[in-house]
Amino acid sequence: MYEEVRVEHPLDILSRIERSAAGDQELLLNGNGTAWTDLLADYVDALSGLAVPGTAENGYIATYGLDEGHAGGCG
């Protein structure tokens, strides 16, 4: 009488959406002609430019090496 309807698992749906979006982004970047390394360098430069003026107003610029800061947690 009733036909059984198969429902796709939500994680499968999300995976499909993620793959589609990643493909779209890759096509856009490849079509732009800008190298990934140049794009990443410009992004880092832009972020640095935003961060430096904020700390300079306090009279110092905070710098951290790979072994400093609190990335590993304290205590």
Judge residue 38's burial from the number of C-beta atoms within 10 Å of its C-beta, 0-12 exposed, 13-18 middle, 19 or more buried: exposed
Tokens matching residue 23: 């493909």
How far is 5 from 40, CA to CA, in rounded Å?
46
Report the candidate in 31, 29, 55, 50 with the shortest Cα–Cα distance to residue 40.
29
Over the stretch 1-37, which tens digit does the pLDDT of each residue have?
778 888 899 999 999 999 999 888 888 877 777 777 8
Contact 29, 39 (CB under 8 A): yes
Question: pLDDT tens-digit profile of 29-61?
Answer: 777 777 778 888 888 888 887 776 655 566 666
Tokens at 69, concatenated = 């800061």
